[in-house]
Amino acid sequence: MPRVALAKMHHTERARAILSDARDMLGGNGILLDHHVARHLCDIEAIDTYEGTDTVQALIVGRDITGYSAFVSVAPSH
């Protein structure tokens, strides 16, 4: 699981950086759907949100490396 989390975190981060650069290179046209960059930016946002944010992925990787969980279980209150 930690390797999967690390891969998701890395590849999502790289895809966002590449798409951001592509948008910047196209200037104002980068936000138009004609060039598909805006659509791909929306897609990568959905993937980042759906697959878990990079923060959650980093917590999973950190737990594997250190052995300490940053997730706190909360007992239900009555």
Residue 53: name the closest of 16, 19, 22, 24 by CA: 16
Give per-residue pLDDT as tens, 5-51: 888 888 888 998 999 899 899 888 887 777 788 888 888 888 777 76
Burial class (CB in 10 A: 0-12, 13-18, 19+), 19: buried
Confidence at residue 17, expressed as pLDDT on a 0 to 100 scale: 92
Confidence at residue 18, expressed as pLDDT on a 0 to 100 scale: 93
Assign 76 a pLDDT band (cuts: 50, 70, 90).
low
Identify the active-site residue in 15, 16, 51, 58.
51
Helices (H) and strands (E) in the chain, counts: 3, 0
Active site annotation includes 51:
yes
Prediction pTM value: 0.69
Confidence at residue 64, expressed as pLDDT on a 0 to 100 scale: 87
Confidence at residue 73, expressed as pLDDT on a 0 to 100 scale: 67
